[in-house]
Structure 1
Amino acid sequence: MSSCVTVIQGQHGWGVTYSSTEICALKGSTVNMSCTYTYPSWKYGRYTKVKEAFWFTKERRYQPVDLRTDSDYQDRVESRCSKKRCTLRITDLKESDSVEYKFMFITNQPGGRYTGSPGVTLRIADLQVQVSTSSHSGSRELKCHSSCRLPDRSSYIWYKNGQKIQSQTSSTYSVTYDYADSYSCALKGHENYGSPPVCEFDPLYQEKTCRHTGF
């Protein structure tokens, strides 16, 4: 769930290239981000060796905090580096994970550290059912709206009164409704992190009563 935009940052042979600059993912899901990095192989009369390479989101006493030691990500992150390419995996995503992630590497050269900035912005999607009036009397157009852009190929699941509607897999759904019906949506494969249900009713009525208000 990412934008396929490659950004290269570098100077004098030092650089970081992120495979994506923005990623949209659902709460509870797993996300992967990756980058490659470059550096001068020889400088100041010595070969360059990488001593440390890590991802971070925050600093402590002006020093980046390796995500693998960050208590907010305990048991949820995995970082691997090989041949100047590093990947970061974060599992069980939380709303608080919606921040910017940067990659840094430190070498044996004097002042030989480099941070890829700006980094990768992760946004946690919040699904909501949006309702609009259809041109046909008595019907409504429902849209499963995400707070950030999910892949166009995403497959959706719709629920009516808590029961799955088998025939609907698109992000929009046209319904002729009963005032007591509730509707909610989720992304296929992430059914436990769907939208809150919405209950449509006639504005002339003073009360609204849904048959079902949850999954």
Structure 2
Amino acid sequence: MTKIPHEKYTGLPGVTLSVTDLKVKERISVISRKHNFSRLECHTSCNLPKDVSYVWFRDGQEVSQQISKYYSVSIHEAKAISCSVTGHENIRSPKLSVEDNQGVIESSFEICAIRGSTLKISCDYTYRPITTSQQKKFCFTAMENNQHVNVKNTLRDRTEYHCDASVCTLSISNLIDNDSDEYEFNFTSNNENAGYISSVGVTLSVRDSHIQVNVERSGSQIRDLVCQSNCWQPYHVSYVWYKNGQILSEEKKKRLQKIIDPADSYQCSVDGYKDRSLAVYAPRLPSVSVSPTGAIVEGTSVRLTCSSDAHPAANYSWIKKNGRQSSHLLSSEPYLVFSSIKSTDSGDYRCTAESDLGINSTLTFIDVQYAPRLPSVSVSPTGAIVEGTSVRLTCSSDAHPAANYSWIKKNGRQSSHLLSSEPYLVFSSIKSTDSGDYRCTAESDLGINSTLTFIDVQCL
């Protein structure tokens, strides 16, 4: 505001101040024969600057300065732990005490199970000794509307518990999609101070069974066949491998490492489940189809399609054979297209189908037909044609299929009758009256062509 009327400004939005405290939270608590630590977080609901660092204290004494807000500490040392932000060491969180000999280790933090199967979730735990008057109660809880709900209430009669001195197991049968959830281990006793809820849940995902064999390749050599599931499988799971439908009894691992015969097919499954993967196998001998069917005529559009039964799907390539050599790559697709095929396109074409499991190829001959070209005429003997001598006219035309020939003599605007239906016309003793124009015609079902030749007979 100023002394001048209407000269004022209000900043919008304002500055929102949130006053909060620090708290040490136990993020992961693990106790077992192999692990004995807790991961702590110096937690605040404020968004602190990224460059802030933290100071950790045990029994009031500084033990560590961390850029990270997380601090891992041995369970046996995790007593009276507090934290503060660097520069404000006098403002500390309340002390947290992590009880010795009390905690839980989850068998696995993420579990995937196949719909309809039975799943067992196990927890190893230790608990400080309690008196005989303190009754221990064990259960697993799921999260529903951010509240812990007893698993037995949600899964009804499909659950069973089995607990001993150090392991508690929950068995869920006939899994359904709604069973997907996060489960936490919980035990309590008559003593209100004796109890524990695990700080790390087990996330369960229920899915359809989907098993497949993947091919892993290193360079030109096949490295492994790998049995892959859309569900994560524990390390102790056994696998079943099949070769041409028969079980390979000695193979139990996820990876199949052996020489792969292109003639064989392979499948796998997870032991205990009936579903198998689709078979994988190298490309079989390719077949080639030609479209349109029938004779291949010059100038038309022709499509060659190569197909091979293969899994995984094959990659294709086309080349043309030129004697002992092959031309460059014509196509890397299953098909080879000629928009206007030529007679020079006739020849052998090789289609190759290839995958990581093997290679196979087939040779196809393409025969391009065409109408007769312009005929040429040769005269024998060469030189001057003299009356009374023997003369042979030969007509030839490049054609496929071979042409039929005919000879006539032109008489002005008219033509004489057919003189010959052969490629040649013979005069055993030619006369002067035989002089004139002779037309040779080459004809096939694909077309017709002709040429005119003048014969000049000289008198003796």
Unmatched tracts of structure 2, length 5 or more: 1-32, 39-96, 281-310, 317-332, 336-352, 354-460
> Counterparts of 2:266 and 2:187 in 1: how far apart (Å)?
48
The sequence identity of aligned pairs, in percent, is 26
Specify the code of the residue in structure 1 equivalent to 2:234: L
Partner of residue 77 from structure 1, selected from 159, 165, 169: 159
Structure 2 residue 298 is the aligned partner of structure 1 residue 186: no
> Which structure has the larger Rg?
2
SS at the partner of 1:176? coil
Q: TM-score, structure 2 length as denominator?
A: 0.33
Unmatched tracts of structure 1, length 5 or more: 209-215
How far did 1:33 drift?
Answer: 0.5
How far did 1:41 drift?
Answer: 4.3
Instruction: Report the equivalent of 1:200.
Output: 312
Instruction: Report the equivalent of 1:159.
Output: 242
Deviations 1:20-68 (A, max 9, x none): 24465652244241333536848xxxx97347431012235x5421111
Query: How big is the alpha-carbon RMSD for the aligned residues of Structure 1 and Structure 2?
Result: 4.3
Specify the code of the residue in structure 1 equivalent to 2:270: L
Q: TM-score, structure 1 length as denominator?
A: 0.61
Q: Is the 8 A contact 2:211 2:228 kept in 1?
A: yes
Partner of residue 176 from structure 1, selected from 258, 261, 267: 261
How far did 1:13 drift?
Answer: 6.1
SS at the partner of 1:11? coil
Structure 2 residue 125 is the aligned partner of structure 1 residue 36: yes
> Counterparts of 1:41 and 1:21 in 2: how far apart (Å)?
28
Deviations 1:115-171 (A, max 9, x none): 11113345679643112446558x7842113453532x654222356x134366142
Greater length-normalized contact order (CA 8 Å, ≥ 6 residues apart): 1
Specify the code of the residue in structure 1 equivalent to 2:172: I
Instruction: Report the equivalent of 1:59.
Output: 144
Q: Which moved more, 1:6-15 or 1:165-174?
A: 6-15
Deviations 1:68-127 (A, max 9, x none): 111xx3433111345575332233455665543211233445576531111334567964
Matches within 5 A, 1:68-147: 68-70=152-154, 73-83=155-165, 86-93=168-175, 97=179, 99-109=181-191, 113-122=195-204, 127-133=211-217, 141-146=224-229, 147=231
Instruction: Report the equivalent of 1:213.
Output: none
Specify the code of the residue in structure 2 equivalent to 1:16: G
Instruction: Report the equivalent of 1:15.
Output: 102
SS at the partner of 1:195? coil
Residues 26 and 14 of structure 1: CA distance in aligned 2, closer, same or farther (over 3 Å): same
> Counterparts of 1:23 and 1:5 in 2: how far apart (Å)?
20
> Counterparts of 2:243 and 2:107 in 1: how far apart (Å)?
36
